[in-house]
Amino acid sequence: MAWQVLPQHLESRIVSEISTTTALKEKGNLGHLKTIKTQRKPNSAPLEHDEQVAVVEYCDSLHIPIFAIPNGSNKSKHQANKFKLEGLRSGFPDLCVPLMRDGYGSLYIEMKRVKGSTVSPEQTAWIALLNELGHKAVICYGADEAIEVIKCYQLGAKGSTTRGV
């Protein structure tokens, strides 16, 4: 079994198995399934999912309203088309804190891994548009940066360290 040491901000959580299991039919034995486990490299940056979970847990612990916009979730072609017709837009930020502060309508956060992440043109365009419309929209690399942005936003600090585009 593959185990991973959790990032420092998640150490208090129960260590869970980090593996991706893929069921493959063995050649010639259609009824039997073979499980293959893959593991991230030790010392690699936490996944964006793990970082976002930490941010949501932080907000939940302080009763700060927050919700996720599941744009990046894996969907079948049929589901993707259905959601697109319903208004799902590529590149829209991952998280929203729906509180007015210091003249901003809401805080939108596009989460990225600490290392190895890139910002798409669609994400850049949404961040710029949301800022033009009177919201605070930023890109945060890791949970620590996002939590710091939320703390500053809560206090109404316009000079918070953010990466708005």
Measured from the Cβ of residue 130, the count of other Cβ atoms closer than 10 Å reads 24
pLDDT at 62: 96
Q: How many Cα atoms are found within 13 Å in the side-chain-facing hemisphere of 94?
A: 23
* Domain 45-155 annotated CATH 3.40.1350.10: yes
Give tens-digit pLDDT for 34-78.
Answer: 333 344 555 578 899 999 999 999 999 999 999 999 886 667 888
Q: Cα separation of 40 and 126, whole Å?
A: 31
pTM here is 0.70
Q: Cα separation of 165 and 116, whole Å?
A: 19
Of 101, 163, 89, 103, the C-alpha closest to 134 is 103
| Residue 74 per-residue DSSP state | -
Give tens-digit pLDDT for 129-157.
Answer: 999 999 999 999 999 999 999 999 999 86
CATH 3.40.1350.10 segments of the chain: 45-155
pLDDT at 37: 37
